[in-house]
Structures are given as structure tokens and as C-alpha cells.
């Protein structure tokens, strides 16, 4: 400190303080190509400095202007994970990040209907691999017009003394395949790949020797430069019985596999396997779940259990791991969701008698938003009374999920004696097919087996849920004597966009007035006031037109959409979604 006086020190500290304040005052948001949906922003300074919530990343960028002392300054961003550019963005009525501001509107959720022809994939005949039960902790992918399904087939030998309620024997839980032209009518092709009871005439896919399990989560990545890796699976393998084995003490773990055709699978080449064929299982041990998805270049696996939950409320909750390549999984994890009822202290009996989730969250990645299903576990102090429906979740960052309406049951169990009694299982299968949305699910029963001594019945199947395209929920006017209004989050586009509306109840006497605002919510003259567009027609995808022009050719900079529910019969309107595309 030689040569430095106390006054010099005080001046240095003051200068550092000024620079720090300058850093905070110069928060800026980076641009995106394609369509991007931002969380609500607050503007504090005239240079459009913004802070986006919640804070998930911090980035430093060189300043374009110097500091007060003439030196170069720096800008700081505090930003959430940005939505990847998408060809089309969907703003659902129940997404309070996409639509954060409303007046005189209320939300109604719209449950799907069970297809009358359920189960669409019934149990196999006696002598087939899925003769006894099925688990759709699996996947449906639509590829070149064909629907492809991977699921778990349980034969009678998958249960030790099944009629006496014995334990599982996972040598009898195999990976199976079905396909369909329409998503409703499925066939189990004779693949000829795996021997079952002396015959290869079955629908089993080829897995590494001795692999039986409980989950078959598949991704199709046709852009992978290696054709042999274009199908990828995270499979929950339990008690491998062949030449492969896990580390000592590990009974079950998720394992990555590759395939060229989705039918013949091999262990991922990058896996660490010792000379004794011991598979290094990394972090994904004692973990089970039905969600695998890719978002902004990162893979995510969701489930329950594991060896180190991020937060231990009370029993099952949604945990999320991350990976850049399906091989190296994060040691850290996120508690993605827990139900309100989980925080009521249970009796700590087995089972715990509180509300829980079940098997993570299965996810439909819609580009700017993720929709998901989770099991709604209804705890009880007696296993004979434990059931689980399906609940509905949403996320905007792939890590943190929420319920649009707390405890909303998306799909309920069937009555005792119906094929989907007692418990429902979710999988990675969501598709828009013409004017409908399809979602597949299956049955399972916690009341059977070791815990109760009740026999494992030859029961179940895989079913289909259907609703009108994207009509999961809607906004409607609360008080019809007053206008209903919504304002979206900030939107950006690098091409002139178009806007479409998914709504019903819209007519000449019940219209939607669509206006555009700038980022400070000031009307953009050409697209607001007298220049506003008016929609007077119902439909799943009704274009919005300003004076006969659908494309927003001269729109510059970020904007927001304002929609007003107008007309003497505006109470009839249900607005389900807003679409932005080219």
C-alpha cells in the first residue's frame, strides 16, 4: 500500500461504487432470431435497460460507451433461459408467462375425452409378450405419417407367483413396439428380432442381452449426422440378467441407447463399460420417471426417487436432471414441481397419506412452451386405497413446472371393473392430428402385489385421450357488462409475422379486437385504435387481418398483442390460443 493515501483509497472506493451503479443501470436484453417469447420486463432507464425475471443466467458484455472517467464500461444482463427460435409460437390462454396481464377474464380448463374405442393397444393374447400387463411409460412419435409407439410388455413370468401377489421379475418385462396410420388403430408388427418362448414371431425390439425394464423414452433426431444414432432412448433397466451388470449395489438405472431404425438398439458408444461389462451408471440410479425431452440444446430427464433429491418435501415429487449429450448427467438437479398437498405433513406411515406426484412429468415441447402430464398420487394409509389420476402442468424454461389451476384433474381413473381403473400412467406421446389433439396413456394398479397380497390381474392396456386441437383451456369474460382485456408478453420476430386465433363463440355480436403495442405498451398507430383488427369468426386457426393485410410487413422492434372481448354477446367467447408464424 506504499504511496496510497487514505483519500486515494476513498476516491477509489467511490469510483468503484459509481461503476457498479453504472453496471446495474445498463442491463440489456440480447436479440433472438425467429420468434421468441420473453418474460415480462421492467424498464428502469431511458436506454431500454431491462431486467427479466426469474434470473437464471448472468452475462457480461462490453459497453458501447465509456464510463464517467472515460474508461470503457460493461453491461450486465440478468436473464432467464430464452425460448429457442421457432417457426411458430403458441400463446396458450393458461400460460401466464405468455399472457401475464388480464382484466375481467377468467380461466376454464377443458379436460379431454376418453376415446370410445379404448384401449387402442389392448393386451396380447396368452403366449404373447404383453399377455399379462403393459406399461406406457413409453413414447409415441409421428414419423413420415406413421405413428410409432414404444412401450413395456409384461408377460406372466414378469411376476413371481402373480396369482398370489408376488414381486416383479424384470426378466419378464420387455421392450415392445406398435405402429399405426391414424393414432387410433394400432398393430403389433411381427419384427422377428427377439426370441420369446421359442419363437421370434412377436413385436419385441432388440435390446442388449438381458435388458428388461420399466421405461422406454425415445427421441427421434433425424438431423444427427450419424444415421446409426438418429433414434435415442433412455431406458430404465432393472436387474440386468445377461452379460452386462451395474455397479455393486445398483439394481436399476437409466441407460442411453442408440438405433438407426428404432427397432435394433445398442448401448451408447460413449458409455463407460469396464472389461467385466459393468456399466457406469453415473447419477441416474434408483430413479424412475416418464419424461425425456430436449430444449434449447439440452436434454432433460424427469422422475422421482434418485440418490439425492434437490429438496425433500414429503415423498414423490418431480426431479429433473440435465445433460448435453445423454451420457454425462448433472450431479445437481432441480425440484421441478411439488403439489400443494405434499407440504401437509403426512403420518410417515407406508404409504404416506398425502397428495404427491407420480413418475415425473411427460412433456410436449411446443418450442416456446412445454406442456406436461404427471401422476396425481392420492395417498392413503392403506395401499388398498391408493390411486392416481393424471394432472396437467406447464413450463417456460424446461426446469420449473406449475399448474394452471391447482389440483386440476386432466384425466381421471376409470371405475372399478373398467380397463383403466385404479391408476393412470403417462408417457411421451402428444400429437396434433388434423383438428384434434391426441394424448396416449395407460393403466396400472398400486393395489395389487406384495403390498396388499392381491393378485396381479391380467388387465389394462394403452388408451387415447382426445380434445379439439390445442383447446386445453380458455379465457372468457367474467362480467359480460364490461370488456375483457389481455396483453401478451413481449414478442420479437426477424420476419414479418402473421397472427391466428383459436377461439369459439366469436361472431358479429361477440368479437375480438386485436391491437399491437410497443414494449412500453403504447399503441402502434397503424395496428391500434381505428387501425385495430376485428375477428368475428370462430375457428381453430382464424387469421387476423388489418385492412385486408395479414402479414405485419412494416412492424419494427419488439411488440405486444392486446386483445379486447367486445360486443353485446361477448360472454359467449372462449379464447384458447394465439399463434404467431410466417
Name which of 92-96, 311-315, 443-447 the model is least confident about: 311-315
List helix spans (H) across 379-470: none
Q: Where are the beta strands (DSSP E) in 306-345?
A: 318-323, 334-337
Q: Which residues pair with 334 in a beta bridge?
A: 320
Answer whether CATH 2.30.42.10 is correct for domain 120-271+278-468: no
For range 426-446, the mean pLDDT: 97
Compute and round to an integer the Cα radius of gyration of the chain.
Answer: 27
Cα 545 from chain centroid?
32
Give the per-residue pLDDT at 5.
44
Give the per-residue pLDDT at 311.
62
CA dist 92 and 107 (Å) reads 11
Q: Residue 547, Cβ neighbours under 10 Å: how many?
A: 8
Q: Domain 88-110+473-581's class? A: mainly beta
Contact indicator for 359, 289 with CB cutoff of 8 Å: yes
Residue 211 has pLDDT above 50, yes or no: yes
Convert the pLDDT of each residue in 441-491 to its tens digit.
Answer: 999 999 999 999 999 999 999 999 999 999 999 999 999 999 999 999 999
The grid coordinates listed for 469 are: 386441437
For range 144-165, the mean pLDDT: 95
Closest CA to 140 of 113, 121, 155: 121
Residue 44 has pLDDT above 60, yes or no: no
The grid coordinates listed for 198 are: 421359442
Q: Where are the beta strands (DSSP E) in 110-212?
A: 113-114, 133-143, 146-154, 173-180, 186-187
Binned at pLDDT 50, 70 and 90, residue 310 comes out as low
For range 546-561, the mean pLDDT: 91
Give the per-residue pLDDT at 25.
42
Give the per-residue pLDDT at 346.
61
88-110+473-581 shares its CATH topology with 120-271+278-468: no
Give the per-residue pLDDT at 143.
95
For range 541-550, the mean pLDDT: 95
Residue 21 has pLDDT above 50, yes or no: no
Closest CA to 213 of 241, 235, 196: 235
Torsion of CA 206, 207, 212, 217, to 10 degrees: -100
Q: What are phi and psi of 25, to 5 degrees?
A: -80, -5
CA dist 124 and 327 (Å) reads 34
Domain boundaries, the chain: 6-79, 88-110+473-581, 120-271+278-468
For range 46-57, the mean pLDDT: 29
Residue 568 has pLDDT above 90, yes or no: yes
Q: Residue 346, Cβ neighbours under 10 Å: how many?
A: 18
Give the per-residue pLDDT at 352.
79
Contact indicator for 185, 158 with CB cutoff of 8 Å: no
3-state secondary structure of 479: coil
What global pTM score does this model have? Answer: 0.87
CA angle 338, 470, 476 (to 5 degrees): 85
Query: Higher confidence at residue 55 or residue 244?
Result: 244
Contact indicator for 232, 219 with CB cutoff of 8 Å: yes
Torsion of CA 30, 33, 39, 43, to 10 degrees: 40
Task: Give percent above pLDDT 90 in the chain.
Answer: 73
Residue 47 has pLDDT above 50, yes or no: no
Residue 50 has pLDDT above 80, yes or no: no
Name which of 274-278, 285-289, 496-500, 522-526 the model is least confident about: 274-278
Q: Is the CA virtual torsion 59, 61, 67, 70 positive or negative?
A: positive
Residue carrying C-alpha cell 472517467: 69
Contact indicator for 166, 158 with CB cutoff of 8 Å: no
Who contacts 109 (Cβ-Cβ below 8 Å, separation ≥6)? 94, 392, 404, 405, 408, 410, 472, 473
Who contacts 329 (Cβ-Cβ below 8 Å, separation ≥6)? 282, 283, 284, 301, 321, 322, 323
Q: Where are the beta strands (DSSP E) in 202-354?
A: 213-220, 231-238, 245-246, 252-259, 266-267, 278-279, 287-295, 298-305, 318-323, 334-337
Amino acid at each position: 500500500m506504499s504511496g496510497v493515501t487514505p483519500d486515494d483509497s476513498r476516491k477509489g472506493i467511490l469510483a468503484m461504487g459509481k461503476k457498479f451503479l453504472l453496471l446495474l443501470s445498463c442491463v440489456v436484453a440480447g436479440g433472438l432470431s425467429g420468434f421468441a417469447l420473453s418474460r415480462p420486463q421492467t424498464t428502469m432507464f431511458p436506454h431500454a435497460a431491462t431486467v427479466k425475471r426469474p434470473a437464471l443466467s448472468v452475462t457480461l458484455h462490453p459497453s458501447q460507451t465509456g464510463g464517467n472517467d472515460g474508461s470503457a464500461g460493461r453491461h450486465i444482463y440478468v436473464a432467464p433461459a430464452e425460448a429457442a427460435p421457432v417457426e411458430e409460437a403458441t400463446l396458450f390462454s393458461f400460460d401466464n408467462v405468455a399472457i401475464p396481464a388480464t382484466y375481467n377474464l377468467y380461466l376454464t380448463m377443458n379436460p379431454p375425452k376418453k376415446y370410445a374405442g379404448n384401449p387402442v393397444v389392448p393386451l396380447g393374447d396368452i403366449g404373447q409378450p404383453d399377455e399379462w400387463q403393459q406399461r406406457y411409460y413409453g413414447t409415441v412419435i409421428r414419423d413420415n405419417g406413421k405413428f410409432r409407439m414404444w412401450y413395456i410388455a409384461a408377460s406372466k413370468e414378469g411376476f413371481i407367483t402373480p396369482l398370489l401377489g408376488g414381486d416383479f421379475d424384470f426378466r419378464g418385462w420387455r421392450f415392445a413396439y406398435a405402429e399405426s396410420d391414424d393414432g387410433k388403430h394400432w398393430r403389433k408388427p411381427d419384427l422377428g428380432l427377439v426370441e420369446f418362448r421359442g419363437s421370434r414371431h412377436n413385436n419385441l425390439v432388440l435390446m442388449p442381452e438381458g435388458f428388461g425394464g420399466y421405461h422406454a423414452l425415445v427421441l427421434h433426431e433425424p438431423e444427427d449426422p450419424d444415421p446409426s444414432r438418429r433414434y435415442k432412448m433412455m431406458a430404465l433397466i432393472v436387474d440386468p440378467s445377461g452379460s452386462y451388470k451395474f455397479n455393486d449395489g445398483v439394481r436399476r438405472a437409466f441407460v442411453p441407447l442408440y438405433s438407426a431404425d428404432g427397432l435394433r438398439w445398442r448401448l451408447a458408444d460413449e458409455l463407460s463399460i469396464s472389461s467385466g461389462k459393468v456399466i457406469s451408471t453415473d447419477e441416474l440410479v434408483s430413479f424412475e420417471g416418464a419424461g425425456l425431452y430436449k430444449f434449447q440444446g439440452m436434454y432433460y430427464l424427469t422422475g422421482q426417487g434418485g440418490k439425492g433429491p434437490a429438496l425433500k418435501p414429503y415423498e414423490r415429487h418431480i426431479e429433473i436432471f440435465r445433460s448435453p449429450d445423454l451420457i454425462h448427467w448433472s450431479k445437481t438437479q432441480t425440484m421441478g414441481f411439488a403439489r400443494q398437498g405434499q407440504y401437509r405433513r403426512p403420518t410417515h406411515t407406508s404409504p404416506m397419506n398425502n397428495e404427491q406426484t407420480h413418475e415425473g412429468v411427460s412433456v410436449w415441447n411446443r418450442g416456446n412452451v412445454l406442456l406436461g402430464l404427471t401422476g396425481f398420487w392420492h395417498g392413503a394409509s392403506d395401499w388398498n386405497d391408493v390411486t392416481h389420476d393424471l394432472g396437467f402442468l406447464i413450463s417456460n424454461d424446461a426446469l420449473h413446472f406449475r399448474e394452471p389451476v391447482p389440483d386440476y384433474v386432466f384425466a381421471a381413473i376409470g371405475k372399478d371393473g373398467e380397463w383403466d381403473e385404479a391408476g393412470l400412467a403417462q408417457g411421451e406421446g402428444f400429437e396434433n392430428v388434423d383438428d384434434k389433439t391426441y394424448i396416449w396413456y395407460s393403466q396400472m394398479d398400486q393395489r395389487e402385489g406384495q403390498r396388499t397380497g392381491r393378485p396381479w390381474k391380467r388387465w389394462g392396456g394403452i388408451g387415447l385421450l382426445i380434445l379439439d386441437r390445442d383447446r386445453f383451456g380458455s379465457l372468457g369474460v367474467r362480467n359480460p357488462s364490461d370488456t375483457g382485456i389481455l396483453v401478451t408478453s413481449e414478442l420479437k420476430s426477424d420476419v414479418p409475422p402473421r397472427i391466428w386465433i383459436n377461439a369459439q363463440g366469436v361472431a358479429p355480436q361477440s368479437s375480438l379486437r386485436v391491437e399491437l403495442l410497443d414494449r412500453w405498451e403504447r399503441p402502434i398507430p397503424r395496428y391500434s385504435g381505428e387501425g385495430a383488427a376485428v375477428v368475428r369468426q370462430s375457428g381453430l386457426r382464424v387469421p387476423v387481418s388489418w385492412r385486408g393485410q395479414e402479414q405485419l410487413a412494416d412492424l419494427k422492434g419488439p411488440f405486444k398483442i392486446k386483445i379486447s372481448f367486445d360486443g353485446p354477446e361477448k360472454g359467449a367467447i372462449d379464447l384458447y390460443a394465439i399463434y404467431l408464424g410466417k
